[in-house]
Amino acid sequence: MATIFETKNFIVESHEKPFVSRTDGGHIRIKVKDLSISDRTKLNPEQAIELMRLTMIVGEAFETAMNKRGVPVVKINYQDMGNWSTKTNTKPFLHVHVFGRSKDAVKQPWPESVYLPDRGTGFYEEFEPLNEYDRTEILTQIEIVSNENKYSNQAWGLK
Q: How many residues does the chain have?
A: 159
Average pLDDT over residues 71-82: 93
- DSSP readout, 19-39? SS-GGGT-EEEEEESSTT--S
Tens of pLDDT along 15-74? 999 999 999 999 999 999 999 999 999 999 999 999 999 999 999 999 999 999 999 999
Domains and CATH numbers, the chain: 2-114+124-147 (3.30.428.10)
